[in-house]
Amino acid sequence: MRKNKPMSFEDLLKELQEQKANKDDSAEATLERVFNDSFMSKNSVCKSFQEFLEKGNFQAWTHEDINLIPEELWNRHVARETNFADWKSMLETANSEFAKV
């Protein structure tokens, strides 16, 4: 029976860093993941979050980008295009559903 060759410290460190990176990527709550197509189809007239943004002539790739949009305009768009009265209720529901996954 052949013994496994011990892993060098550098190889172990590299493997652990890759595992952490993969874990971080899968746990990241991006807009597209939180407002996935299923959520958007169920709760809005749009099939995707991208379509929702385009319909309002908004460009946003991060939560920070959304925070730069004037609140009144954003809430009006949410109320008009979704089942939610405002962004806060839409975000809370989406985060709650995302956390269950």
24 lies in some domain: no
25 lies in some domain: no
Give me the DSSP letters along 36-97: -HHHHHHHBS-SSHHHHHHHTT---SSHHHHHTS-HHHHHHHHHHHBSSSSHHHHHHHHHHH
Please state, rounded to an integer, the average pLDDT across all residues of the chain. 82
Number of domains in the chain: 1
Query: Each residue of 19-45: pLDDT tens digit?
Result: 555 544 444 568 888 999 999 999 999
Question: Is the pTM here over 0.85, yes or no?
Answer: no
Of the given ranges (43-52, 56-65, 78-87), which has the lowest mean pLDDT?
A: 56-65
- Parent domain of 54: 31-100
- CA-wise closest residue to 90 among 31, 3, 25, 24: 31
Largest CA distance in the chain: 70
